[in-house]
Structure 1
Amino acid sequence: MRILLVEDDELLADGIKTSLSLKSNAVDWVESGEAALHAVQVSMFDIIILDLGLPGIDGLTVLRKLRSDGNQTPVLILSARDQIQDRVKGLDSGADDYLLKPFDVSELQARLRALTRRSSGHRHPDININDIRILPSSYQVFKGDDEIKLSRREYAILHELASHRGRVLSREQLEDLIYGWSDEVSSNTMEVHIHNLRKKLGSQLIKTVRGLGYTIEFSA
């Protein structure tokens, strides 16, 4: 998934970005509320991780602005503000979850997975596509009883297509969801990854909708 991290603590942000990037995520980091509001105008994100104590425009103002503009991207607040009224204010302002600092990265990852399931309409922690089973908690993919080894990018593409059930995603949308600002993408990279996924998981899994993009058809 593609994540926007809004955090002004450079050391903390670097640690979060590193740990999440190792788990097939594309993480873009900004340090201010102004930069966050600009980022959501130019890029698509699956989730926003938002600190409250930002310089300039604070996190709550950013959150309220996002919601008033109709942006429904799930937002997880990270904050050292541990009073009940702070958590209530954050959730009532439109946040989907609230995690107190300090925190364990494994809990952050689990909360992000839960938000992804909720936003995509999946209640079960695993995603089943015909005879394919995706386990987001361990980043594993099975075809029947056999585990299929996918590259980080292949897994990210499969997960995005599976999470956007019933939607056709264009090549540009997929690239926007799995690559960060610092990633270099060649013109045929997406086609190569799709080819490899079909080779590993079956040629009929990912459908090409001519002139529009790619989709996965669920029969179960």
Structure 2
Amino acid sequence: MHKRILIVEDEPAIRDMVAFALKKGEFDPVHAGDARQAQEAIADRVPDLILLDWMLPGTSGLELARRWRREPLTREVPIIMLTARGEENDRVSGLEAGVDDYVVKPFSARELLARIRAVLRRSREDDEDGSVVVGAMRIDGAAHRVVARTASGEQPVQIGPTEYRLLHFFMTHPDRVYSRSQLLDHVWGGSVYVEERTIDVHIRRLRKTLEPTGQDGMVQTVRGAGYRFSASPES
């Protein structure tokens, strides 16, 4: 079955162009012109990936991304933002909202398909069997689930796909220091579409995700070297 891609874009010409490229790439495109139509499409069938325009009528793409990252149905669906905003601060805002990648307009069909395939490939690689335990944190790979042990029992951790990949790598390589470039190679597969600056954004998001469980201190900054994940206090 072809992967279903939800296109959330209010300009019909761009929607049609993207849908045509997706069909050529053997994907199954679904159209939505605004937030309401997007919600209806998701309710009908959860897509494998969402292409989300930054500028939408009524609700911005940024607000939608934040909403979908909070909702159980869409929390793990990869999101690629389509935007005319190419400035670093704008890209960082999108990443902090929960977006997995971004494509700056105007873009070619070839670039778009390459980014979609890269994001989907990374998502597939995350579906690993077995459990990983570090300190109070546990990942159930088969269920794609993260839980933290607290004083009141096990607490589920609501986590997005990119932070899940980062956490999974950290927990399978605990107490080791990795530079930004090493994390890019290991977690993102050396993708040319991801910048080193992006790592800092995802580290902040991972810490914020773990904060309610009190385990955010396990993601540690090693000054001048990079980051590590450890159950031991920072030294």
Q: Alpha-carbon deviation of 1:41?
A: 2.1
Aligned partner of 2:109 in structure 1 is 105
TM norm structure 1? 0.54
Q: Cα RMSD between the aligned structures?
A: 2.0
The 8 Å contact of residues 34 and 56 in structure 1, kept in 2 or not, is answered as no
Greater length-normalized contact order (CA 8 Å, ≥ 6 residues apart): 1
Whether 1:28 aligns to 2:3 is: no
Aligned partner of 1:8 in structure 2 is 10
Aligned partner of 2:120 in structure 1 is 116
Match of 2:21 among 19, 33, 49: 19
Alpha-carbon separation, structure 2, partners of 1:109 and 1:48: 13
Deviations 1:124-180 (A, max 9, x none): xxxxxxxxxxxxxxxxxxxxxxxxxxxxxxxxxxxxxxxxxx89xxxxxxxxxxxxx
The 8 Å contact of residues 37 and 62 in structure 1, kept in 2 or not, is answered as no
- What's the secondary structure of 1:111's corresponding residue? helix
Instruction: Report matched runs for 1:37-56 at 5 Å.
Output: 37-56=39-58
The 8 Å contact of residues 30 and 41 in structure 2, kept in 1 or not, is answered as no
- What's the secondary structure of 1:121's corresponding residue? helix
Q: Which residue identity lines up with residue 76 of structure 1 in the other structure?
A: I
Match of 2:87 among 79, 83, 89: 83
Size of the aligned set, in residue pairs, is 126
- Among the aligned pairs, what percent are the same residue? 37
Q: Which residue identity lines up with residue 40 of structure 1 in the other structure?
A: I
- What's the secondary structure of 2:81's corresponding residue? strand
Ranges in structure 2 where 5+ consecutive residues have no aligned partner = 127-141, 144-235
Alpha-carbon separation, structure 2, partners of 1:23 and 1:90: 26
Alpha-carbon separation, structure 2, partners of 1:19 and 1:99: 14
Aligned partner of 1:68 in structure 2 is 70
Alpha-carbon separation, structure 2, partners of 1:34 and 1:59: 12
- What's the secondary structure of 1:103's corresponding residue? coil
Alpha-carbon separation, structure 2, partners of 1:100 and 1:33: 21
Deviations 1:4-24 (A, max 9, x none): 000111111111101211221
Q: Which residue identity lines up with residue 119 of structure 2 in the other structure?
A: L
Q: Alpha-carbon deviation of 1:35?
A: 1.5
The 8 Å contact of residues 37 and 66 in structure 1, kept in 2 or not, is answered as no
Whether 1:92 aligns to 2:96 is: yes
Alpha-carbon separation, structure 1, partners of 2:6 and 2:96: 21
Q: Alpha-carbon deviation of 1:37?
A: 2.2
User: Following TM superposition, where does structure 1 have runs of at least 4 consecutive aligned residues deviating by more than 6 angstroms?
Assistant: none
Alpha-carbon separation, structure 2, partners of 1:59 and 1:38: 16
Ranges in structure 1 where 5+ consecutive residues have no aligned partner = 123-165, 168-220
The 8 Å contact of residues 80 and 103 in structure 2, kept in 1 or not, is answered as yes
Q: Which residue identity lines up with residue 117 of structure 1 in the other structure?
A: R
Q: Alpha-carbon deviation of 1:38?
A: 2.6
- What's the secondary structure of 2:46's corresponding residue? coil
Alpha-carbon separation, structure 1, partners of 2:97 and 2:39: 16
The 8 Å contact of residues 52 and 78 in structure 1, kept in 2 or not, is answered as yes
Q: Which residue identity lines up with residue 53 of structure 2 in the other structure?
A: D
Q: Alpha-carbon deviation of 1:121?
A: 0.6
The 8 Å contact of residues 34 and 57 in structure 1, kept in 2 or not, is answered as no
- What's the secondary structure of 1:98's corresponding residue? strand
